[in-house]
Each structure stands twice: as C-alpha cells, then as structure tokens.
C-alpha cells in the first residue's frame, strides 16, 4: 500500500502509527481502562487531553497535529462503537448504554429489541434524541456519573419521564414500575380509539396533523395513526445510513417509497440538512460552532452538484403522484432562496426533457429557523409557496441556548414567552400574505404547546408518529375558544415555568391529566 500513497498520505499514516505506538496513546488508554474507565471514555479522555496540549504549542507543525489527533480519535471511537453496537447480538428489552450514541448508529440497531437508551453525554433536543423519540424509545441523556464499564448484563430501570436510572433495583421498586408500566399500557390502549378519528375540536375546528419521517417505520406508524400527510421528511437519514453519498437513482427509489405511501396527501421533503449534530460518517465537518456554521442550504448551495442530484431524484420520484413539496432548510437570506429556485427550475425543465414526461412544479417552502427570517416574511412570501417552522432550531437561536449542551438545556423551553410571541406574530404575518404556515419541531408534538399552536392559527402541526394520538386526543377535548383564551393569558406571562404550569392546570381539570406527563426523553 505504501507505494500507492502520495507523500502527504504516507506522512499522515506515519503520524498515526507513531501515535499508536505501544508507548504512546495506547499505554495511557490502557491505564485508564485498568482504573475502571469504559474503553470509549478512556479513548476520548486521552485524545481530548492531548488535543488541548497540542493546541497550546507555539510550533506550527505541532499545532497542526491537533487535526490528526482528532481524526485518529474519531477512527478509534467509530471502530469501538461499530464493534459494540453493530456486531453485537441484542436480546429483547435491551437497554443501550454509552457515553454518546450517534444517529447513524441508532438507526442501524434492531429497534424492536431496544427498551431504552441511556447516555452520559448529549441533550434532550439533539438529533439522535429526536430520532429516538420518533422510534418510540424512552431515552435519558446527560447522566454524568453513569458507570458504563460495570453495566453489562445488569438489570436497570429507566424512568424517562423523570430522567432517573436505577441500577440493580430492589424488588419493591421493580413492582412499583411494573404497575406504572401497566398504567402506560392502558393509556396507549385508550389512545388507539383516536387512530380513526379526525382532529376536530368540540366546537368544530379541524386541525391537520402530519407526521415527521426519515425511516420507513415512521411512515408505517404515521399511516396507521391517521396522519394526513408528511410535514417533514428528513432526507439526511438515508445519507447517514451509507458510507458514501447515494446516487440519483438510489435517492429516487427512496423518495418514491415515501411519496407513494402518502399518495394524494402532501409530502414535504426537506433538502439535505447536515451539519451541527447531523454528521455524515464519510463527510465530516469540523467547526468551532457547528450550529452557526456550514449547514443546511449553506452546504448544499456550496455543493450544487449534491443539491441538484437530490432535486432531480425528488422530481423523478414524484412522477404520477404530484404530492411533492420541497422544503429548504436553514434559510437566512432572500438570495439563498433565489439561487435554490434557479437550480430547481433548471432541473425541473431538464428532467421533463430527459424523461419526456410532464411533472407538476412542486410547491417550494422555507424553514423558519433563523430569527432574521421572522423580520422578512413579506420578501420571502414573494418567492415561496409556504413556510414551515423548525421550532427546535428557532428556539435555540432565539434563546441563545445550545440544545446539545446538558449544562444549559434547562434554559431551552418552548413555553418561553418570547418564543410564543414570536410564533404568534409569524402566523399573523404569513396569513397577511396568504401563505400557509406549519410547524414541524418537537413543540408540535407536545399536547400542551400544540393547543397553543392551534390557537395561534398554524395550518398544520407535524410531529413524530409516537405523539400523533396524544395531540389528537388533546385537540378533540379542548374547544378552540378555550385554546384562544389560554393563549391570550400565557403570552402575557413572563416565566416559562408558569406558562407550562398554567397549561398543566387546565389539562388536569379538563380530563386530560394523562397528557400532562412530559416526553419520554429528558436530561438527567
């Protein structure tokens, strides 16, 4: 192999080999493992320590070794994680425990065998957690004192409502949680009656509930639970499951599946949204602050060949179905939309010419995630057909909270008065320009906040399939007049905890106490 490598590549391999010498990093890692550290944790600790040391060095060459160290650490951790997860037989009711679980690793696991996920790092609004919620997996993240090295084949109870993990629980505690589990099963059984009901308030106002998808299991559950369409198809998920960028034909087949399962219903496909906490294993993006960096439309417009391939695949997949809507993520400026529209129009003409078929122009929308968009709705309304709020990122940017940082994730709240007021004004602006507006973040899947969104006038609420029945039940029990009164009251409040408590009080006193429990994914 040495002969076929360029000199720079040989130099890099030489650096790796020296670092992996028995007397270098491996010795330190082994020492930590002997002291009781988990293998992955030991690797990360040693790599991080050396990265910090090298970053402070004055010598340019040595400082440049930081990237090599990080690269080496990623390779070792990826190998360990693949060995731990992909190549391991899981029994029924397995609890996945680790320092951190990537989205790509999660979606490759046998979901039907996973009872829960517990990690020592991460936050309740990370992308992995959002996917776990979509799969209906109870998850607790940010358990800082998690003794991961001693938990193999150990009985555990994971209470994802309260963010608690019990190791080797006593008999009385096990019985208590068995009773809670029976209550949960009864609630789930009661909710099944809402699979065939429409989301209509007692005073006759209908609300469209869509499903967020990425995996086929989301589609199946969404159809089963009566979703009226797909409000957000996460097109990055198929990219995460491969070791290379999928080709145009591969993408076409995947998109066709999504579109055909919801024939005659709208399917909103978001173009590739990587970056921040959504990395591709074969295209890593190293940035100091990835949440504010090269992601979403910024990445795809810098790589028009990737964007064009995806648009062409979507257009081809829509032939004969005509239910495709295209959603552009992480939009900041009007010029980004203009550039994206130029590519879409060009590709639409090219595909029709090549395939000799008539393809209806899909509706084009933008995600409202960056706060600056809130102030330019009029200009964007001249270019696009609809707006879709990505509440997870919008809240993060409005409140200046890193939703992947467990230290500050408690500040992140969709009940924050500024969030509610901003969304209320957004809906008013969209309706002023006669543009439909939907919301597809986690906020839409919480029955408490869904009622407020309904009162604001959102045309569509889109959520994980696991939340559809809960939200539908809430809508069927809360009159629109009550929802609007609640909204008028809470937007005048100044504390998000008081807002949430006010909503919980209403639910408990109107026969919806079982809807008050928080999502089964929390920070410990």
Domain boundary among 85, 114, 132: 85
Tell me, yes or no, whether 219 and 351 share the same domain: yes
Tell me, yes or no, whether 81 and 194 share the same domain: no
Let me know: does 165 contact 158? Beta carbons within 8 Å.
Answer: yes
Looking at the domain assignment, is residue 254 inside a domain? Answer: yes
Looking at the domain assignment, is residue 519 inside a domain? Answer: yes
Looking at the domain assignment, is residue 292 inside a domain? Answer: yes
Looking at the domain assignment, is residue 148 inside a domain? Answer: no
Over residues 388-411, the pLDDT tens digits come to 999 999 999 999 988 767 778 788
Tell me, yes or no, whether 207 and 73 share the same domain: no
Handedness of CA 415, 466, 148, 103 (dihedral sign): negative
Looking at the domain assignment, is residue 162 inside a domain? Answer: no
CATH of the domain at 24: 1.10.274.10
CB neighbour list of residue 454: distance below 8 Å, 6 or more residues apart? 201, 205, 207, 461, 475, 478, 480, 483
Looking at the domain assignment, is residue 102 inside a domain? Answer: no
Q: CA–CA separation, 205 vs 203, rounded Å?
A: 6
Pick out the chain residues at pLDDT < 70. 1-24, 38, 54, 57-68, 71, 74-75, 78-88, 103-104, 107, 122-127, 130, 134, 148-150, 243, 275-293, 404, 517-524
pLDDT of residue 82: 53
CATH of the domain at 330: 3.20.20.60
* Element housing 76 (H / E): helix 60-85
Per the structure, the complete domain to which residue 353 belongs is given by 188-523
Place of tokens 């203009």: 338
* Element housing 402 (H / E): none
Domain boundary among 53, 85, 117: 85
Tell me, yes or no, whether 192 and 81 share the same domain: no
- By annotation, the residues acting in catalysis are 127, 440
Count of structural domains, the chain: 2
pLDDT of residue 58: 59
Place of tokens 């192999």: 1
pLDDT of residue 47: 83
Residue 522 phi, psi dihedral angles, 5° rounding: -140, 165
pLDDT of residue 87: 52
Give, in order, the Cα–Cα distances in Å from 485 to each of 438, 455, 503: 21, 9, 11
Tell me, yes or no, whether 245 and 363 share the same domain: yes
Give, in order, the Cα–Cα distances in Å from 368 to each of 336, 389, 424, 493: 13, 5, 13, 24
Tell me, yes or no, whether 79 and 194 share the same domain: no
pLDDT of residue 218: 87
Tell me, yes or no, whether 412 and 267 share the same domain: yes
Give, in order, the Cα–Cα distances in Å from 377 to each of 119, 199, 234, 380: 40, 29, 24, 5
Domain boundary among 85, 111, 143: 85
Looking at the domain assignment, is residue 320 inside a domain? Answer: yes
Tell me, yes or no, whether 72 and 196 share the same domain: no
Looking at the domain assignment, is residue 160 inside a domain? Answer: no
pLDDT of residue 386: 98
Three-state SS sequence of 19-32: HCCCCCHHHHHHHH
DSSP string of 377-397?
A: HHHHHTT-SEEEE-HHHHHHH
């Amino acid at each position: 192999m040495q002969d076929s490598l360029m000199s720079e590549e040989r130099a890099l391999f030489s650096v790796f080999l020296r670092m992996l010498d028995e007397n270098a990093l491996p010795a330190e890692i082994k020492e930590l493992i002997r002291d009781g550290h988990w293998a992955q944790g030991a690797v990360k600790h040693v790599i991080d320590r050396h990265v910090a040391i090298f970053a402070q060095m004055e010598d340019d060459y040595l400082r440049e070794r930081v990237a090599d160290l990080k690269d080496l650490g990623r390779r070792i951790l990826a190998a360990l994680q693949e060995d731990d997860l992909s190549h391991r037989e899981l029994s029924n009711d397995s609890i996945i425990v680790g320092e951190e679980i990537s989205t790509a690793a999660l979606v490759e696991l046998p979901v039907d065998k996973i009872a829960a996920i517990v990690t020592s790092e991460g936050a309740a609004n990370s992308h992995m957690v959002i996917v776990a919620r979509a799969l209906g997996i109870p998850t607790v993240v940010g358990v800082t004192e998690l003794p991961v090295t001693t938990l193999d084949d150990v009985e555990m109870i994971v209470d994802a409502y309260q963010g608690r993990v019990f190791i080797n629980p006593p008999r009385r505690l096990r019985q208590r949680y068995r009773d809670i589990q029976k209550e949960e099963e009864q609630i789930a059984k009661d909710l099944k009656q809402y699979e065939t009901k429409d989301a209509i308030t007692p005073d006759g106002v209908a609300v469209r509930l869509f499903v967020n998808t990425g995996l086929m299991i989301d589609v199946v559950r969404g159809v089963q639970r009566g979703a009226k369409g797909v409000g957000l198809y996460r097109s990055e998920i198929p990219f995460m499951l491969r070791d290379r960028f999928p080709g145009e034909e591969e993408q076409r087949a995947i998109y066709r599946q999504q579109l055909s399962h919801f024939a005659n219903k709208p399917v909103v496909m978001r173009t590739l949204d990587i970056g921040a906490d959504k990395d591709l294993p074969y295209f890593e993006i190293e940035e100091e602050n990835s949440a504010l960096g090269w992601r979403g439309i910024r990445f795809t417009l810098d790589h028009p060949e990737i964007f064009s391939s995806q648009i062409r695949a979507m257009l081809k997949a829509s032939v004969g179905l005509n239910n495709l809507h295209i959603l552009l993520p992480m939009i900041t400026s009007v010029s980004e939309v203009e550039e994206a529209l130029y590519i879409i129009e060009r590709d639409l003409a090219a595909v029709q010419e090549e395939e000799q078929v008539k393809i209806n122009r899909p509706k084009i929308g933008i995600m409202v995630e960056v706060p600056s968009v809130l102030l330019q709705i009029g200009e964007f309304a001249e270019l696009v057909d609809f707006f879709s709020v990505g509440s997870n990122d919008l809240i993060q940017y409005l409140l200046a909270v890193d939703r992947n940082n467990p230290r500050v994730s408690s500040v992140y709240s969709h009940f924050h008065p500024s969030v509610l007021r901003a969304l209320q004004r957004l809906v008013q602006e969209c309706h002023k320009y006669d543009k439909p507006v939907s919301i597809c973040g986690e906020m839409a899947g919480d029955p408490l906040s869904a009622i407020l969104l309904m009162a604001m006038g959102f045309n569509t609420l889109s959520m994980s399939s696991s939340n559809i029945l809960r939200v539908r039940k809430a809508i069927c029990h809360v009159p629109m007049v009550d929802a609007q009164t609640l909204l008028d009251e809470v937007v005048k409040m100044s504390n998000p905890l008081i807002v949430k408590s006010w909503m919980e009080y209403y639910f408990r006193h109107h026969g919806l106490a079982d809807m008050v429990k928080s999502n089964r994914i929390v920070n410990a």
